[in-house]
A and B are shown apart, each in its own frame.
Chain A
Amino acid sequence: MTPAISIKDLYKTYDNGFEALKGISLDVAEGDFFALLGANGAGKSTTIGVLSTLVRKTAGSVQVFGKNVDSNSYETKLDLGVVPQEVNFNHFEKVFDIVVTQGGYYGLPVKLAKERAEKYLVQLGLWDKHDQQARNLSGGMKRRLLIARALVHEPRLLLLDEPTAGVDIELRRSTWEFLQEINRAGTTIILTTHYLEEAETLCRNIAMIDNGEIIENTSMKSLLRKLHQENFLFDLREEINTAPTLNGFSCQLVDPAILEVSVDSHQDLNDVFKELQALNIQVKSMRNKSNRLEQLFISLLNKPGQET
């Protein structure tokens, strides 16, 4: 199957001499939900910028659904929907007009553009604001308006550059659900984020980018399998003053009622319970510490010989 995007040896050096991309190569399969993960300034937005033509590449080739973006720019642009990192619509325009106008730029007749605008504003919970100026929306709503605008021409590939930055938890969760829904319906999604939980929750495949280079490109499952150690949080029935000594496990008190225990991949959780039982420490409940990917990301960044 032709990949949704195929990037080969992509370089980008900005006018000020900053090398944002140093020869990255990347394939994303059609239908995938793909995360491009990295710290600020790692090169994520530059990659999205090159795909959307807002950033001119210095060297390399970029194909979207098998078509070269240089020689087929009109066709590749029709296949792309772009949600930028920063809000970039006219704040004085009405919400509905912003989406309908974008449909017009993609050649949609007015009637169809209006139908699509209504469809996506309803799905993203913005319909009751459709007649208001965009400046009246909250930060989270503005980000959802960017998504509605990017979807109005129903692209095959949606590029999301930090789609939930600064969005509260409730709106973030509902945005995730919406994105999962359109991905199930067939839209390929590439998402850049530095919320590691977001990538872990949504994406099947992942590339980690650091200092303009891809340092990992694999499936989320195999990436997480690489974790040699996982941290668990135990909610204790009674508070304790000092962290207990557990044979074979390192642990620390997060607070008097929460104990964090590190479990290596060759160890069993049963043994942790046995140790706690022996010390007469009763566990009320237990959960994963949610930063598994974060640990992995940091460990990748800190590989010997790698600049961080």
Chain B
Amino acid sequence: MHSLPLNYKVTAFKTLVWKEIRRFLRIWVQTLVPPVITISLYFVIFGNLIGRRIGEMNGYSYMEFIVPGLIMMAVINNSYANVVSSFFSQKYQRSIEELLVSPMPNYVILSGFVIGGVTRGLAVGAVATIMSLFFSGLHMHNIFITILVVLMSSIVFSLGGFINAIFANKFDDITIIPTFVLTPLIYLGGVFYSVDLLPDFWRLISQLNPIFYMVNAFRYGILGVSDVNVVFAFLMLVLFTVTLFFFALFLLRRGKGLRH
């Protein structure tokens, strides 16, 4: 099989990424403002008002403890939401055909959407980080781990959003997963508490939750404390990234829901 010259692929990739970024910037009131308001409320209510009565957790004030989890929650939600919404909208109004008839390889199409999701996830994550400074000091135990974990988590959930959009046939289908799967996993993934507080059974169940590893690895990067082994958490992230990437590529190659 012949391949396109590299400069064609790079141009096509940049075009798609820029289009994705332009999309979420154009509708910034829907994409960037709501997460900032939500995170602010979490900081004020859980961190400041309730947190003062909770006391310390894993050696840090409750506010300091939940900041990494809340930042990660913003990154995960927005990476997922960006890709699932953008790809499904394009599928729904059939503008996805612009990409499908073009010579862009499938992996370039997938990467373009994922980088679009990562960009929005990291943009909202950066704003959440800046806002956290109003409520708590910024710790940084290991900046390399922090950036690597947030980046990989964002990629994993961008891929998740892409797969959700591929299978979705109607708008309801792109809200079911975030509402009934993603939100419970985030809330039960150790954003607001240490799993040490849980009974043994629920502690074990928590370890089946992928977000549990992301939140704890990220918390380790910032605070230096974690409920799991960071190397193991990192390996889980690599496993999720690779598996989801190739599954999404497989679906795209088969034209699932896209080609008749």
Chain B count of residues within 8 A CB distance of the other chain:
33
Contact of A102 among B7, B22, B90, B102 (CB under 8 A): B102
**Given A56-B255, A77-B102, A89-B98, A104 contacting B2 (CB threshold 8 A):** no
Chain A interface, >50% SS class: loop
Q: Which of B9, B22, B98, B103 interacts with A88 by CB under 8 Å?
A: B98
Asked if B16 is an interface residue, CB under 8 A from chain A, the answer is: yes
User: Which chain B positions have C-beta within 8 A of A84?
Assistant: 94, 97
**Cβ–Cβ contact A107 & B7, under 8 A:** yes
Known contacts: A53-B259, A72-B1, A74-B105. The answer to whether A90 contacts B9 by CB under 8 A is: no
Q: What are the residues of chain B within 8 A of A82 when measuring CB–CB?
A: 97, 101
- Contacting pair A107 B259 (CB below 8 A): no
Most chain B C-beta atoms within 10 Å of own C-beta, residue among A54, A75, A89: A54
Task: Say which residue of B1, B16, B260 sits within 8 Å of A105 (CB atoms).
Answer: B16
In whole angstroms, what is the CA distance A91 to B15 when docked?
Answer: 18
* Any A CB within 8 A of the CB of B100: yes
Tell me if A104 and B12 are in contact (CB < 8 A).
yes
Residues of chain B lying within 8 A (CB to CB) of residue A107: 4-5, 7-9, 11-12, 103
Asked if A54 contacts B259 (CB within 8 A), the reply is yes
A55 to B93, CA, bound (A): 17
| Complex interface: chain B residues within 8 A of A52 (CB) | 101
Assuming the A-B contacts A49-B260, A71-B1, A77-B102, are A105 and B15 also in contact, with contact meaning beta carbons closer than 8 angstroms in the complex? yes
Asked if residues B98 and A105 are in contact (CB atoms below 8 Å), the reply is yes
Closest chain-B Cβ to A300's Cβ sits at a distance in Å of 28
Interface magnitude class on chain A: 20 to 34
B11/A109 in contact, CB under 8 A: yes
What's the nearest-Cβ distance from chain A to residue B257, in Å? 12
At the interface, yes or no: B139 with Cβ under 8 Å from chain A?
Answer: no
Closest residue of chain A to B10, judged by CB? A107
Q: Take A55-B260, A56-B255, A71-B1 as given contacts and tell me if A101 and B94 are in contact as well, using a CB distance cutoff of 8 Å.
A: no
Provide the residues of chain A in CB contact with B94, threshold 8 Å.
84, 86, 88
Q: B179 at the A/B interface (Cβ < 8 Å)?
A: no
**Does B14 touch A at the CB level, under 8 Å?**
yes
Q: Is A254 an interface residue (CB 8 A)?
A: no
Tell me, in angstroms, the Cα distance from A14 to B22 when the chains sit together.
37
Determine whether the beta carbon of B99 is less than 8 Å from that of A105: yes
The one of B8, B14, B90, B259 in contact with A90, judged by C-beta atoms closer than 8 angstroms, is: B90
CB-CB contacts below 8 Å: A82-108 with B: 82, 84, 86, 88-92, 97, 101-102, 104-108
Nearest neighbor of B5 in chain A, beta-carbon distance: A107
Tell yes or no: A80 within 8 A of B by CB.
yes
Does B30 interact with chain A (Cβ within 8 Å)? no
A39 on the B face (CB < 8 A): no
Asked if A269 CB lies within 8 Å of chain B CBs, one says no
> What are 27 pairs between A and B in contact, CB < 8 Å?
A53-B259, A54-B100, A54-B259, A55-B260, A72-B1, A72-B2, A75-B103, A77-B102, A82-B97, A84-B94, A88-B93, A88-B98, A90-B90, A90-B93, A90-B95, A91-B93, A97-B22, A102-B98, A102-B102, A104-B16, A105-B12, A105-B15, A105-B98, A105-B99, A106-B103, A107-B7, A108-B11
A90 nearest in chain B by CB position: B95
Interface string of B1-45 (1 = CB under 8 A from A): 111110111011011100100100010000000000000000000
CB proximity of B108 to chain A, nearest CB, Å = 9
Instruction: For B5, list chain A residues within 8 Å (CB).
Output: 107
Q: Is the CB of A55 within 8 A of B103?
A: no
Determine the chain B residues whose CB is within 8 A of the CB of A106 once the complex forms: 8, 12, 102-103
A73: interface (CB < 8 Å):
yes
Q: Which residues of chain A are near B95, meaning CB under 8 Å?
A: 88-90
Chain A residues with CB under 8 Å of B16's CB are 104-105
A78 at the interface (CB under 8 A from B): yes
Identity of the chain A residue whose Cβ is nearest the Cβ of B112 in the assembled complex: A105
Q: A53-B101, A101-B15, A104-B12 are in contact. Are A74 and B2 (CB under 8 A)?
A: yes
- In the complex, are the beta carbons of B101 and A77 less than 8 A apart? yes
Q: Which of B5, B89, B95, B103 has the most CB of A within 10 A?
A: B103
